[in-house]
Structure 1
Amino acid sequence: MHSALRSGITLIVILLLFLAFNLVWIGKIPNIRWDFSQQKLYTLSPAAHQLAATLEGPVDLYFFNDQLHPKRNSIEKRFGLRVEDLLKEYEKAASGRINLHIIHPAPFSEDAYKAGLFGLDDQYGLFGLIGTRAGQSAQRIEAFSSDREALLEYEIGHLLQNLSNPEPRSVGLLSGVSINKSAGRLLTQLRGHFNVMELAPHLERMPQGIKTLMVIHPEKLPDRALYAIDQFVLGGGKIVVFTEPSSGAPTRFGSMLAGWGVHLQTDGILVDTTYTIPQGLLALPREATNANDISSGRVNALTMSSVGALARAEKVRTRFTPLLQGSAQSRWVIAGISVPADKASPEAQRAVIAARIEGPAYSAFTDGIGGLPAGLQKASQIHAVVVADADMLSDALNDPGNNDNIRFALNILDNLAAPEALADIRPRSMTGHTLHVLKAMGAAAEQHYREKAGELELSLERTEREWQTLHPQAVTLTPQSVDISTRLQALNKERLRLPMELHGLKVEAYAELQRLKFIIKLVLIAAVPLVLCLIAWALLLYQNRRRTLPPVAFD
């Protein structure tokens, strides 16, 4: 009796202690997190931490996340938790200057109505951010996307920076040709986002106060203007250049790029059979952009014309980061002669159309120019972006329904003109090592297949064309006689044989990749059952061992 009472009292005390711990002490335990990812992907970067710690005034962030929306897939749901965690990290780093409100809006609710008023996108359920600060206009991220996960920290930091310092940043605009009529949409967008100072093409010195410069058609600028650009970049100015290589770059301009560690092809144009559309234009999909660079933010498709190719010059220490690339089937056409794009751009098999340049650079004007004395001769660090197409900025390639070309240019310019605290937030790739391996193997398999399948595809195309010529499709209402001529029989055999050979080549090319995928799936599927079986086996051995132990003799 006493034993049962004692046990009951003990259980009650344990239960009371458990409840007291959860109700009183659990909230006082510090929130300890460990980030074991190789790149510390789930920890706020030092630059983002610094930006949050130096915010001016209290900021309210309203995160709308409709997790129950029927169009929201599992990937976006997990990404929603990732966004929420990162916002909490920003709130923690701001030490009271950020008030985070997490809202899960119900359909047709007041929260959903307010989100709509602020312009959040609800196509796949509300999944955006609104930031407010007293006396300032509200800022928003219309919709987060897992496709831009590498840019997540920067996007949130950009919103906070705009709330803290909403004044438009000043940029210089210098063009070798008049763009008032040909690029009116670009000018409108530039003036709406920046304080634009338009510069005369015959300038000899960059005006004071300009830290960021946009140059269009530099190949048509006089040498004195190029000298001013050269000194501006070596002096720490940031620049984005849109050049038209088909027009033939002057020696000075080519030398200036060489001093930056860049080689620009100017003796032809890039032709890409994969991305070519009617009128000879290139339609670059999102896959052609660098998903881990700010320039790709909200850019889905780019239209370009007379595209050139860039490459990292030999024996330079410059960091050369491709921003836009052609496909593996791109070719460089010189005077009607086609050569592989990788010969024009040896840096990679895919031709580089735009690149970010960072690192040491040297002046192309060692003796000055036109009576002007020699200026800066080198710099330990420059920040430049070179795009081998200027036509992409014209109104002809930017219709009101698709401004991705202009958005691409604005992304670059905004990033270059950003304050140091924001510019130092670097995109961080979320792709693991295994996915890198799979991606590389997939690209190699595709290249291997294309190398062997080219002739077969051409043969199949010729066969189909001849078949259609000899056996045209006709709309008839009566039975027709069947033509079984020898030539048609031969063509029909080819039509059956060639696709089978192409399929066999594809299976052969992708065999190693498919084996690796199968092994990964097998490991992932079998891992948990295998661990449970091992634990059960170990317990069984332990029990059997205890049962077989000899009895202990007592004296």
Structure 2
Amino acid sequence: MKKLMVSSAGLVLIALAFLAFNLLSSLTLSGARLDLTEQKLYTISEGTEKILAELDSPIELSFFYSDTATRNLPALRNYATRVEEMLKAYQREAGDKIVLKVIDPEPFSADEDKAAEFGLQGIPLQQGGDQVYFGLAATNALGDKQVIPFFALDQEAFLEYELSRLIQNLATPNRPVVGVLSGLQINGGFDMAARQPTAPWMVMEEVRQLFQIESLKRDVDQIPDDVSVLLLVHPKNLPEQTLYAIDQFVLRGGKLLAFVDPFSEADKQGDIPGEVAIDKASNLEPLFKAWGLRMLPDKVLGDGSYAMTVTLGQGQRAVNHAAWLSLPKDALDQDDISTAGLENLTVATAGILEPLEGAKTRFIPLIRSSQYAMPFEVNRFGMLSNPESLIRDLEPTGERYTIAARVSGPAQSAYPEGIEGRKDGLKDAETINVIVVADTDMLTDRMWVQVQDFFGQRIPQPWADNAGFAINALDNLAGSEALISVRSRGRFSRPFVVVEALQREAGARFRQQEDALQTRLQETEQQLAALQQKDDPQALELTPEQQAAVQQFLQEKLKIRKELRDVRYQLNADIEALGRTLKLSNIVLIPLVLTLGVLALWLWRRRKHG
């Protein structure tokens, strides 16, 4: 009885202690979080901390969320909780510099009118039903306003970046000026084939949210003084006066991000269907030479390891394109702020950059190929119809080629004597800061993003980090590093690197055998068709010799098809074996280890107390 009383009292004490702990933790530890995710998705980054620490005046955040109307939408409610927790974390970090208001704009209320006045996007749950609000409005002491119209669920990975960008835009209303000079229709134009206007490239929409854009003409003779960063995209056949203007801009301390290309597939000017493509190259050869680098002339990079899988046409099989590359983290410099943290970049018919011997500048590769790469002649891509031929002809050199590089250090002018009418320019500089990328196609929408129309709002759904790289580079060159570190956390894809390696190894092992069998199969089918075709329409039957030959060819055809199936099966055999191993580990081995561990602990405790 005494033991029972002691046991009962113990249970009561445990229950009271549990209640007291929950009460105390809810009052004192409401902001405590333990983030066990690999990239600390639920923890404010150092970049955000820096942005908040530099706030000079208060910023008011009004989070409009229709809590009552979304009771039956668990996915939206979970995301809303995440947004509110993140906003409270910002408020805790910034102290009195962030004023947070959480508002439930009920139908026909003054709060709903206020949300609409801010320009937030109300989404109807059903025809004629109430509007659901899930957005953020922010204002600073000067009355400037920034809004996130609606937090799209598929953009959750970019939540911290969007919030930090909004706050930084309010904290520093005067955004850096980016001068844009392009030989492509990056700001929208007119499609002559479709006879309709084209939308601006989504990368420019992203850039415009962070920077003030100033468009420059291709014959500009001086870069304006208010330009912080000069963005060149496909600077094709620029006149000497423009090259000199760029030269002088860089020498006087201006920052440059240049996208050049040996074969720009986005360059459609002068294309005639069915004919060899016109010159699609762009270069800054005289400037590059002065800065200590060059782009290999008339060469396109091919890479068997990073080749993208493309479909030849509707209903046709997928093949690897050795000149369209999907570049993983291993191809990116993780020590440079412009590429650190990015997961994947894609390029198409990119060029190759290399430093010049004896150059005084520092050449730092930012994006590189694998060792299974080689240069192809550029004229091969004018009428390329089957990318498979690139893989078959690929002979890796073992060298890792540079696609993008940072160039810095002392440099001379490309025009030491000046140009006609301008002889008093700068001759040299103690240091320059330039980033060069040997591809322009990576900026096109098709290479990194799917754009959807969401109630009149263009919503980007990125599947590669191309825009992130461009913005990181511009941010870095403009001198802002805090937001870059936040943006680099934007994507959290987890590719099956072991499976991809097995696929590459299997492809290398069996591709030649598969091609040989395909050739034999085509030859057999041609011989069979020729034998079955009768020149004499009166001959209704085959001779015994012909029948025997037909039978032999049919058997040969079946044999080859069986061998081909076996080869294609072997392509996935290693991957299936890996899958079986993982299933065995998850279903049998891990539970068995846990069970044995529990039994061992139980036996140890029993022996200890026995």
TM-score, with length taken from structure 2: 0.61
Q: Mean alpha-carbon deviation: is it higher for 458-467 or for 404-413?
A: 404-413
Q: Go from structure 1 to structure 2 and tell me whether the alpha carbon gap of 1:36 and 1:500 turns closer, same or farther (over 3 Å shift).
A: same
Q: Go from structure 1 to structure 2 and tell me whether the alpha carbon gap of 1:517 and 1:157 turns closer, same or farther (over 3 Å shift).
A: farther
1:174 deviation in Å? 2.1
Matched letter for residue 227 of structure 2? I
Partners of 1:496 and 1:104 in 2: CA distance: 69
Q: What residue in structure 1 maps to residue 563 of structure 2? A: 501
Q: 2:139 aligns with which of 133, 139, 149?
A: 133
Residue-by-residue CA offset, 1:29-51 (whole Å, 9 max, x unaligned): 47554556665555332112212
Q: What residue in structure 1 maps to residue 310 of structure 2? A: 275
Contact (CA 8 Å) 2:451, 2:460: kept in 1 or not? no
1:318 deviation in Å? 1.3
**Is 1:256 paired with 2:317?**
no
Q: Go from structure 1 to structure 2 and tell me whether the alpha carbon gap of 1:320 and 1:264 turns closer, same or farther (over 3 Å shift).
A: farther
Q: What residue in structure 2 maps to residue 455 of structure 1? A: 516
Matched letter for residue 434 of structure 2? I
Partners of 1:156 and 1:32 in 2: CA distance: 21
Partners of 2:606 and 2:442 in 1: CA distance: 77
Listed as ranges, the gaps of 5+ residues in structure 2 are 126-131, 192-196, 264-277, 333-337, 382-388, 534-539
Matched letter for residue 496 of structure 1? L
Contact (CA 8 Å) 2:468, 2:487: kept in 1 or not? no
User: Equivalences for 1:514-529 in 2 at 5 Å?
Assistant: 514-525=576-587, 526-529=589-592
Q: 1:226 aligns with which of 225, 243, 260?
A: 243
Q: Go from structure 1 to structure 2 and tell me whether the alpha carbon gap of 1:331 and 1:360 turns closer, same or farther (over 3 Å shift).
A: closer
Q: Go from structure 1 to structure 2 and tell me whether the alpha carbon gap of 1:121 and 1:242 turns closer, same or farther (over 3 Å shift).
A: farther
1:112 deviation in Å? 12
1:208 deviation in Å? 0.5
Q: 1:154 aligns with which of 129, 148, 161?
A: 161
Q: What residue in structure 1 maps to residue 267 of structure 2? A: none
Q: What residue in structure 2 maps to residue 58 of structure 1? A: 60
Partners of 2:604 and 2:442 in 1: CA distance: 74
Q: Go from structure 1 to structure 2 and tell me whether the alpha carbon gap of 1:275 and 1:226 turns closer, same or farther (over 3 Å shift).
A: farther
Q: Mean alpha-carbon deviation: is it higher for 28-37 or for 419-428?
A: 28-37
**Is 1:357 paired with 2:405?**
yes
Partners of 2:513 and 2:354 in 1: CA distance: 31
Residue-by-residue CA offset, 1:80-99 (whole Å, 9 max, x unaligned): 98777655544443335556
Residue-by-residue CA offset, 1:326-356 (whole Å, 9 max, x unaligned): 9x9999455459766866997669xx9xx55
Residue-by-residue CA offset, 1:137-170 (whole Å, 9 max, x unaligned): 5224552437x84x55434433443455566653
User: Equivalences for 1:322-361 in 2 at 5 Å?
Assistant: 332-336=376-380, 356-358=404-406, 360=408
Partners of 2:443 and 2:43 in 1: CA distance: 41
Q: 1:237 aligns with which of 255, 266, 271?
A: 255
1:187 deviation in Å? 6.2
Matched letter for residue 320 of structure 1? L
SS of corresponding position for 1:387 = coil
Partners of 1:417 and 1:332 in 2: CA distance: 30
Q: Go from structure 1 to structure 2 and tell me whether the alpha carbon gap of 1:3 and 1:534 turns closer, same or farther (over 3 Å shift).
A: closer
Contact (CA 8 Å) 1:309, 1:345: kept in 2 or not? no
Contact (CA 8 Å) 2:120, 2:133: kept in 1 or not? no
Partners of 1:301 and 1:470 in 2: CA distance: 52
Contact (CA 8 Å) 1:201, 1:225: kept in 2 or not? yes
**Is 1:535 paired with 2:576?**
no
SS of corresponding position for 1:205 = coil
Q: Go from structure 1 to structure 2 and tell me whether the alpha carbon gap of 1:78 and 1:219 turns closer, same or farther (over 3 Å shift).
A: same
Residue-by-residue CA offset, 1:15-64 (whole Å, 9 max, x unaligned): 44543443345421475545566655553321122124445512234578
Partners of 1:510 and 1:206 in 2: CA distance: 56
Q: Go from structure 1 to structure 2 and tell me whether the alpha carbon gap of 1:423 and 1:14 turns closer, same or farther (over 3 Å shift).
A: closer
Matched letter for residue 313 of structure 1? E
Q: What residue in structure 1 maps to residue 537 of structure 2? A: none
Q: What residue in structure 1 maps to residue 298 of structure 2? A: 266
Partners of 2:563 and 2:80 in 1: CA distance: 45
Residue-by-residue CA offset, 1:355-412 (whole Å, 9 max, x unaligned): 5533536747455243455544564753444434599699xxx999899899999766
1:221 deviation in Å? 0.4
Partners of 2:590 and 2:165 in 1: CA distance: 42
Q: Mean alpha-carbon deviation: is it higher for 164-173 or for 481-490?
A: 481-490
Matched letter for residue 540 of structure 1? L
Matched letter for residue 133 of structure 1? T
Partners of 2:469 and 2:603 in 1: CA distance: 63
Q: What residue in structure 2 maps to residue 247 of structure 1? A: 279
Partners of 1:497 and 1:105 in 2: CA distance: 71
Contact (CA 8 Å) 1:260, 1:318: kept in 2 or not? no
Matched letter for residue 309 of structure 1? A
User: Equivalences for 1:68-467 in 2 at 5 Å?
Assistant: 89-95=89-95, 97-98=97-98, 118-119=120-121, 130-133=136-139, 135=143, 136-140=145-149, 142-145=151-154, 149=157, 151=158, 153-162=160-169, 164=171, 170-175=177-182, 185=198, 195-233=212-250, 235-241=253-259, 243=261, 245=263, 247=279, 252-253=284-285, 256=288, 259=291, 263-266=295-298, 275=310, 308-313=349-354, 317-321=363-367, 332-336=376-380, 356-358=404-406, 360=408, 363=411, 365=413, 368=416, 369-370=418-419, 371=423, 373=425, 375-377=427-429, 379=431, 381-389=433-441, 415-418=472-475, 419-428=480-489, 430=492, 435-460=496-521
Contact (CA 8 Å) 1:61, 1:131: kept in 2 or not? yes
Identity of aligned residues (%): 22
Contact (CA 8 Å) 2:345, 2:465: kept in 1 or not? no
Matched letter for residue 321 of structure 1? I
Matched letter for residue 148 of structure 2? Q
Q: What residue in structure 1 maps to residue 266 of structure 2? A: none
Matched letter for residue 247 of structure 1? D
Matched letter for residue 486 of structure 2? I
Q: What residue in structure 1 maps to residue 536 of structure 2? A: none
Aligned pair count? Answer: 507
Q: Mean alpha-carbon deviation: is it higher for 439-448 or for 190-199?
A: 190-199
Q: What residue in structure 1 maps to residue 335 of structure 2? A: none
Task: State the superposition RMSD in angstroms.
Answer: 6.1
Contact (CA 8 Å) 2:61, 2:139: kept in 1 or not? yes
Contact (CA 8 Å) 2:136, 2:148: kept in 1 or not? yes
Partners of 1:247 and 1:420 in 2: CA distance: 38
Partners of 2:442 and 2:14 in 1: CA distance: 75
Contact (CA 8 Å) 1:48, 1:157: kept in 2 or not? yes
Q: Go from structure 1 to structure 2 and tell me whether the alpha carbon gap of 1:196 and 1:263 turns closer, same or farther (over 3 Å shift).
A: same
Contact (CA 8 Å) 1:127, 1:143: kept in 2 or not? no
Partners of 2:112 and 2:512 in 1: CA distance: 53
Contact (CA 8 Å) 1:217, 1:390: kept in 2 or not? no
1:231 deviation in Å? 4.6
Q: What residue in structure 1 maps to residue 386 of structure 2? A: none
Contact (CA 8 Å) 1:247, 1:266: kept in 2 or not? no
SS of corresponding position for 2:232 = strand
Q: Go from structure 1 to structure 2 and tell me whether the alpha carbon gap of 1:426 and 1:400 turns closer, same or farther (over 3 Å shift).
A: closer
1:535 deviation in Å? 1.9
Q: Go from structure 1 to structure 2 and tell me whether the alpha carbon gap of 1:515 and 1:500 turns closer, same or farther (over 3 Å shift).
A: same
SS of corresponding position for 1:247 = coil
Q: Go from structure 1 to structure 2 and tell me whether the alpha carbon gap of 1:89 and 1:523 turns closer, same or farther (over 3 Å shift).
A: farther
Contact (CA 8 Å) 2:46, 2:482: kept in 1 or not? no
Residue-by-residue CA offset, 1:387-444 (whole Å, 9 max, x unaligned): 34599699xxx99989989999976665555554323434246466x94344333344
Partners of 1:505 and 1:81 in 2: CA distance: 51
